[in-house]
Structure 1
Amino acid sequence: MPTLSFSRVLGGMAVALLAFADTQAHAQAYPDHNITLVVPFPPGGTTDIVGRILVEQLSADFGKQVLIENRGGASTSLGAQMVAGADKDGYTLLFASATTFTTNPHLLPSIKYKLEDFAPVAMVVKVPFAFVVRKDFPAADITAFRAYALANPGKVNNATNGPGSTVHLMGEIVARGLGVKFQHVHYRGAAPAMNDMLGGIVDSNVEALTNSAPNHKAGMYRALAVLSEQRLPQMPDVPTFKELGYPSIVGETWFAVFAPAGTPQPVLDKLSSSITRVVNTPDFAKRMEAIGNVPWAMTPAELGAHVVSERERLGKLIRDANIIVE
């Protein structure tokens, strides 16, 4: 019996060693064919643009094509479901936005994926926001804006990209941080919200830097503060809420790469290393700055922890503000 047990141990060790060797060989050969990066949005948006810049440089790194597959719909959940069910080999990846993992679980209870279905690979960029008001709004700074909003409770019309959108949540963070109340006006996307902001039909909005920086510079509306941790090079004259004395008014969205959970660790390591190298290049930084984004490198562990932290923070905000997506 002891001999039989020892044989079994040896057999188990042999199987484990063979599996390890197979995994190592797979990682060394990776990638030996094209990789698909699923962008859970239609073509042409910011996520798609950033994804295409990223895969251009990754393809050069790997010597294999990294191809974009746009799978938009259901607030990124269709693309996420697709990748969650893909082979665990590193050849199908998800280019997730913050929405995918931080707000969808609270707003869309019927989604068919969860964070545990994915392995974090690498953070890529963050998208900063600015709080803007129409150019003839009777307040030239945050102190005057807060005084006006307190004197006129519920009368400040704040545009959003739709109920439960990131812009809606950022607007709620601003209102709660200032201790005021907004009358949120929900639009079907960023374009109509921005158009009515430019037309002076609504009072305020939380705009991504892509739009807010050029519109502020052109005098189309006024940016009173940014929601980032530091001032932004594209808007150096605009203070942060933190420096104005409102440390809780911080927020951005972001894009990051995830793989199906169970992807071999050496493959994840290779992907993370390559993506982070691209994110840290001056060329990538220059191209991101041109479209209002900021490169944001993180280790997989840091990315995973950040997602969990933001999911908890925004989940509490959604519950406290009773935000419901019909």
Structure 2
Amino acid sequence: MAAVPFSAGAQSAGAADWPNKPVTLVVPYPPGGTSDVVGRHLAQRLREELGQVFVIENKAGAATAIGASAVARAPKDGYTLLLSAGTTFTVIPHLSEKLPYKLEDFEPVATVATVPFAFVVKKNFPAKTLAEYVAYAKANPGKINNATNGQGSMVHLLGELLAQGLDVKLTHVHYKGAAPATMDMIGGVIDSNVEALTSAVPNVNTGQYRALAVLSAERQPLLPDVPTFKELGYPSIVGETWYAVFAPAGTPKPVVDKLNAALRKVTASAAFGDEMRKIGNEAKTSTPLELRAVTLQQSKSWGDLIKRLNIKAE
């Protein structure tokens, strides 16, 4: 009986002085990619805010499952955290029946950034506007080749969402990642693509290809002259992914609350906002409850689409 209050008191004391040693932020992607860049900016800002070292550990593989499952099994003390894209919890569970983790294994902490997307066409594509693209697609069903980053990827799902929203038939060409799809867009091999702003903005600005619309709810500052699908009469075509921090389920609430407060301060700062815009992202924050709610809502939406179209992982 005496051990119970002692244990609770020890846990409370540990939470009160968190973090008093380096914190590991697991990024379930290889070094050098956008996720890694977001993680390193975040780690630096958290170090300044909390006065403790945040170490990035890249644990790539198995469509983020290796990194996610490692954090799910980590001690519940706030010293091992996960920075992941939304797909880890909203898409991948619907494409794999044997994942070594589930959302219930985690404590949502806060969103840190969103990843907007643009719909682009090759520079000599006959359609100059979205209306012209729709008319061309309806007149040539299945003849437009639309790139994806791989079957079951977020870009593939956004392409399917777009085709359904526009009520057109596209032929989705699955590439092994964003880079080869972008190269074929530049080379005019492929007709259209849904691209993260990270890739789209520099190529659109240099005339390598053209952007017809963005999939975000509002216009993007990096492409201010490009309308949203909503503006153009397609309110159902809204889609983005996001990065967020999760802790192992059972992490003490004082630790989660302290980390959430620090993340909210970091993501509201002009410095972090500028760093995100430079790579085509938008800084964003949330409460733990808001993050859980958006994760569950998007998981249902993407799960319904995957099931309806019988999309399988590669």
Give TM class, smaller chain.
Answer: over 0.9
Counterpart-to-counterpart distance in 1, 2:16 and 2:93: 36
Counterpart-to-counterpart distance in 1, 2:100 and 2:277: 35
In the alignment, which residue of structure 2 is the partner of 1:138?
126
In the alignment, which residue of structure 2 is the partner of 1:155?
143
- The aligned amino acid for 2:179 is A
1:81-110 CA-to-partner distances (Å, cap 9, x unmatched) read: 100000000000000111100011100111
In the alignment, which residue of structure 2 is the partner of 1:232?
220
SS in 2 for 1:75: helix
Unpaired segments ≥5 residues, structure 1? 1-10
Counterpart-to-counterpart distance in 2, 1:276 and 1:43: 25
1:246-292 CA-to-partner distances (Å, cap 9, x unmatched) read: 01100111110000000011011111111111011011001111110
Counterpart-to-counterpart distance in 2, 1:325 and 1:291: 28
1:37/1:93 contact within 8 Å kept: yes
SS in 1 for 2:63: coil
1:75/1:99 contact within 8 Å kept: no
Aligned: 1:102 with 2:83: no
In the alignment, which residue of structure 2 is the partner of 1:320?
308
In the alignment, which residue of structure 2 is the partner of 1:307?
295
1:59/1:65 contact within 8 Å kept: yes
In the alignment, which residue of structure 2 is the partner of 1:291?
279
Q: Which of 85, 106, 110 lines up with 1:118 in the alignment?
A: 106
- The aligned amino acid for 2:174 is H
In the alignment, which residue of structure 2 is the partner of 1:181?
169
Counterpart-to-counterpart distance in 1, 2:179 and 2:200: 12
Counterpart-to-counterpart distance in 1, 2:6 and 2:238: 49
1:102-133 CA-to-partner distances (Å, cap 9, x unmatched) read: 01110011111000000001100001000000
TM-score (norm 1): 0.94
Aligned: 1:265 with 2:253: yes
TM-score (norm 2): 0.98
1:186-242 CA-to-partner distances (Å, cap 9, x unmatched) read: 111000000001100010000100111111111110100000000000000000000
- The aligned amino acid for 2:259 is L
- The aligned amino acid for 1:239 is P
Counterpart-to-counterpart distance in 2, 1:323 and 1:91: 37
Counterpart-to-counterpart distance in 1, 2:87 and 2:96: 11
RMSD of equivalent CA atoms = 1.0
Structure 1 residue 28: Cα displacement: 1.5
Deviates more, 1:315-324 or 1:235-244: 315-324
Aligned: 1:44 with 2:29: no
1:122-154 CA-to-partner distances (Å, cap 9, x unmatched) read: 100001000000011010111110000011111
Counterpart-to-counterpart distance in 1, 2:229 and 2:75: 44
In the alignment, which residue of structure 2 is the partner of 1:7?
none
Dislocated runs of 4+, deviation >4 Å: 14-17
Structure 1 residue 16: Cα displacement: 5.4
Structure 1 residue 320: Cα displacement: 1.4
- The aligned amino acid for 1:202 is I
Counterpart-to-counterpart distance in 1, 2:96 and 2:35: 21
User: Identity across aligned pairs (percent)?
Assistant: 56
1:106/1:315 contact within 8 Å kept: yes
1:209/1:293 contact within 8 Å kept: yes
1:167/1:206 contact within 8 Å kept: yes
